[in-house]
Structure 1
Amino acid sequence: MTSPALSGWKQRHRSLYYAAAPAPDDPVIVPEATAFLVIDVQNTYVERPARSDVPAGEQAHYDAWTPFHDRMREVVIPNIADALAFFRGRGMECLHARIACATTNGRERSLSQKKPGFNNLLLPKDEHASQIVAAVAPQGDEIIVTKTTDSALTGTNLRLVLHNLGVRTVVCAGIFTDQCVASTVRSLADESFDVIVLEDCCAAASMALHDAELDILNMIYCNVMRLDEFKALAAPDKS
């Protein structure tokens, strides 16, 4: 039986490394030192043709991606929009990272984005495909960093920006859980930021990949929790 100390987010996503570890302390959310970072929720990842327009030989692959698209549409994008409203309403910083290259042929991209396959990303900065999805688009003077790397820290000045903003806790959301989100989380942890990942604001190509990566990240690089659990910590009910 799960003890009360290990209920909810304190129990989920425990790898073998932390199977017997004590319950983590609740993160202390200081609004002026906390930022929300949305990673790579871009048009290229959520737009696709109708199935009837896909060649017959490619439809099985198309179908394999349908759960991801369903999750993005029904869970991840609505939850990120909700989270953005929550952070904005409390005066907490919201930042956005996106993959985009400054050149039309992408010659300045990192090697990981030039190799053949899924990660071969050519997203010129002014094209529709590279833009952030409208439902979670930046507002006002929210900061956007543009990268040609997986980690939002490695390829940008984000570390300096966060430092200058006085941020110590970074709450992460976006895609893909096992790629750019994970790389960013590791970089943030290595730079001694406290990191929280909102599991229902992220997606990977499959739920198996999503859950496996959260198991790896949790407790060593970040705390993994749902949006409602984070809200309870950030704005506790004092009634």
Structure 2
Amino acid sequence: MSWKTRHRSFYYQDAPEPADLDLSPSETALLVIDVQNTYLARPDRASVSPADRASYDAWTPFHERMQELVIPRTADLLQRFRRNGMECLFARIACQTKDGRDRSLSQKMPGWNNLLLPKDEHASQIVPELAPQGDEIVVTKTTDSALTGTNLRLILHNLGIKNVICTGIFTDQCVSSTVRSLADESLNVVVVEDCCAAGSHALHEQELAIINMIYCHVVSAEELIGMMRL
């Protein structure tokens, strides 16, 4: 099954196959979303209290997917884009203030989303394996969408970008919010399914079906490399 028929929701079960994607290198950019140190940091399981181990273990598939699949394949895409002189951009969550008073409401909600990530601290930096190189552009946001909370819209326009290839975390949160914002600006959006992850694989798959064929097209890294001859 190819990208043209995978990840179809109820709405698109009987829709015709989409046309081949036209991804001109000069008009296409790779966007890496929120792959930051804070999300990959993890203590040794032996140091976790028995009461917290169920939660710890529930996150294990996410960490395995990130280390074994998402980060290596995203690093490979970055290398291919750079080799072909194509734009590589990055988005990260970080607040300008130490106490996080400039964060959006969604990033102040109690629970898992309530992360304090001052811009200069280690936790808010992009992981070393995917670190920007040279003059590659990084936008810093206090929103889920990388477009809404930054000048990314203007940057893409100034670069002459019409197609945005999205990777990163979390599929059902910041990736999805960014994809929807980009689509609303009439940019062509492609999500690389094996370069993204959600807290659970079920959430990842569910969100891909929700956004596919209306806000973006969902492809694998191998399919993208083939269609762009990277």
Q: TM-score, normalised by structure 2?
A: 0.99
**In 2, Cα distance between the equivalents of 1:201 and 1:123?**
23
State the 1:187 CA deviation.
0.1
RMSD value, Cα: 0.7
Matched, 1:128 2:98: no
The one-letter code of the counterpart of 1:41 is V
Cross-structure match for 1:207:
201
**In 2, Cα distance between the equivalents of 1:150 and 1:96?**
14
Cross-structure match for 2:186:
192
Cross-structure match for 1:52:
46
Cross-structure match for 2:147:
153
**In 2, Cα distance between the equivalents of 1:26 and 1:200?**
20
**In 1, Cα distance between the equivalents of 2:80 and 2:176?**
23
Cross-structure match for 2:77:
83
1:14 to 5, 8, 14: 8
Cross-structure match for 1:216:
210
The one-letter code of the counterpart of 1:113 is Q
Correspondence 1:55-66 to 2 at 5 A:
55-66=49-60
Cross-structure match for 1:229:
223
Q: Report the count of equivalent residues.
A: 230
Cross-structure match for 1:95:
89
Q: TM-score, normalised by structure 1?
A: 0.95
Seq. identity, %:
67
**In 2, Cα distance between the equivalents of 1:79 and 1:235?**
16
| 2:168 match: secondary structure | strand
Unmatched runs of 5 consecutive residues or more in structure 1: 1-6
| 1:10 match: secondary structure | coil
| 2:3 match: secondary structure | helix
**In 2, Cα distance between the equivalents of 1:172 and 1:117?**
27
State the 1:26 CA deviation.
1.0
Shift >3 Å, 4+ stretches: none
**In 2, Cα distance between the equivalents of 1:100 and 1:226?**
29
Unmatched runs of 5 consecutive residues or more in structure 2: none
**In 2, Cα distance between the equivalents of 1:90 and 1:30?**
12
